[in-house]
Amino acid sequence: MSKMMEPALAGRTAVVTGGARGLGYAMAEALAHDGADVVLLDRLENVADSARRLAEKTGVRTLGLVMDVTDEQSVGAAFDTIERELRPADVLVNSAGMTLGSPLLETSTADWDRLFGVNVTGTFLTSRIFAARYLAAREEESGGEATIVNVSSMSAFAVNIPQTQAAYNTSKAAVSMFTASAAIEWLPLGIRVNAIAPGYFASDMTRDFVAENPEMAATWVSKIPAGRMGEPHELGDLVVYLASERSAYVVGQSFRIDGGYTVV
């Protein structure tokens, strides 16, 4: 088999936060199909069930752990378990996130802090601990490059309406800048960082919202040049590309995948 025909992530261990369901699980499935062993981390108690389902579907080794991205001890304990039961991780997808749709004048400091705790601090904490563990493992065993794929949003680049979500938009802009900054700082250490910035995707949560708010959903779709929302599986190839050595010259970028929403 030629190198280009081999699974892009064979021999790698990928960690996906927020991986129990939705877009996180879809990205984890893509990583597994391209050969990576996959660890799902989530606050949801059913994360272990999701990991078992992924193993049955793809044949790779999986692990599902309950973890809180805002809790440094929780993150550290999860990586201890990963190293004990699998091996040190060399791919990280920071998919854990939350939304907050409220006007600024009605946004409390507590809600603002909670949102930034998950979307920004969670991305920072998990990335920092992942990077430190990777570097420690590399000192003991010579290894290849590590990669991080953060999940930003098209909302980092455009104020998508009619919903009011300034806090969410600002948090995702922070994720994109963190991506660029970490990429430059960590590239000499062998850790390459990029991000994806999805637009409207028909995840489980979005489908529930659409069912309850059909008029707003119609407004969203009317503003998407592609004429539809994305499907979760359409994130997979981009995430695999960014996680693999096939994107070795791609550094610090946030790739918008939004059906053209932010172009017009």
Residues that are catalytic? 168
Distance CA 127, CA 164 (A): 29
Distance of CA 206 to the CA centre of its chain: 17
| Nearest Cα to Cα of residue 83 among 118, 134, 44 | 134
For the chain, give the number of residues. Answer: 264
* 35 close to 90: Cβ distance less than 8 angstroms: no
Residue with tokens 């930003």: 152
* 108 close to 161: Cβ distance less than 8 angstroms: no
From the CA atom positions of the chain, what is the Rg in Å? 18
CA 192 vs CA 58, 67, 88: distances in Å: 26, 24, 16
Query: If DSSP codes are grouped into helix, strand and coil, which group holds residue 249?
Result: coil
* Token reading at 126: 């998990």
